[in-house]
Amino acid sequence: MKKSVGNSTFFLKMIEISNKFNNQQTIAEPVSINGIGLHSGVDVSMKLFPAEADYGIKFVRKDLNKNNVIEAVWSNVTNTKLSTTISNQSGASVSTIEHLMSALSGLHIDNVKIEINGSEVPIMDGSSIKFVDLIDKTSTQSLNKKRKILKVKKNIKIESNDSSVELKPNNHFSIDFEIDFPSKIVSKQSCQLQLVNGNYKTDIASARTFGFEKDVDMLRSNGLALGGSLDNAVVVGESKILNSDGLRFEDEFVRHKILDSIGDLYLAGSPIQGYFYGNKSGHHLNNKLLRTLFADNDNYEYI
């Protein structure tokens, strides 16, 4: 009898694991998040709510009285200068969504309603680990509906000067990124990852956004990085990292570019089965890649 009970428990566990990766997911309980906007410098409150199957990921601007729902999809991207901004047809927008989107992708969250009382997602510590940890505390909930996986069927490449992005058919989602900055601290870095077995949290989530000390005054004079500090970004000086705690990874810079790209690509509206390569690219080319992908139905299929 004990053996039978043990086998039953084992098979139930296998079904639970299978459902987690094959079925759509949402969060189990509401999650509250407070912080400052990186570029606006404004304090903002945000709350994530469980959502039903096929709801997708939607932001709701609680500080607006009407036309305040913004769906997090590639076609709603309206600005890619130093972050990703989405807007609805009425002009309501939410910016700097890429780190939260990256966390949702890394945790396999398909459906969530995000209420926010401002126009910018809080930057937290400059990575996505705070979002991941908060969601982890409440756990996820499997829904009674299969996930739609977007399978890349054709090679797609976008180039701009010496930057490029690509999507290619592959049996799983993998990502490969290279950067090259005129800084002896950053210089050339490359990293390739397959996102399997929960390694998003250990290998990517805590990689922070970064900037250069020489650019701070220029950015702030243009109304950007008003909320930036050593608490939420890695600041690179002429000869050293200004953060007293140093780097979290030896190649933290390229890992953060991967974090950003995962968030931008999740605006496809479904997990992607394919290989992504980025070379000295950013939010603009990531969105252009998705627009090119969806411009031709022969480029992809849902499985």
Tokens 């096929």 -> residue: 54
Lowest-confidence segment of 170-184, 189-203, 278-292 by average pLDDT:
189-203
* Catalytic residue, candidates 39, 99, 283, 284: 283
Domain ranges across the chain = 26-302
* 62: Cβ contacts below 8 Å, ≥ 6 apart: 68, 115, 116, 117
> CB 10: neighbour CB atoms within 10 A?
10
Cα dist from 122 to 32, 49, 76, 108, 271, whole Å: 12, 17, 20, 21, 24
E strands, the chain, are 23-27, 31-36, 43-50, 57-61, 69-71, 77-79, 85-87, 93-94, 112-116, 140-146, 150-152, 156-160, 163-168, 174-180, 188-194, 210-212, 234-236, 272-273, 275-279, 300-302
Active site residue 283: yes
- Mean pLDDT to the nearest integer, 64-92: 97
- Mean pLDDT to the nearest integer, 178-197: 93
Q: Where are the alpha helices (DSSP H) in 214-266?
A: 216-221, 252-265
pLDDT beyond 80 at 14: no
In the CATH hierarchy, which fold is given to the domain comprising 26-302?
A: lpxc deacetylase, domain 1 (3.30.1700)
Sheet holding 174-180, edge to edge: 156-160, 163-168, 275-279, 174-180, 188-194
pLDDT band at 20 (very low <50, low <70, confident <90, very high): low
Query: What pLDDT does residue 12 have?
Result: 45
What's the distance, Cα to Cα, between the start and end of the chain in Å? 40
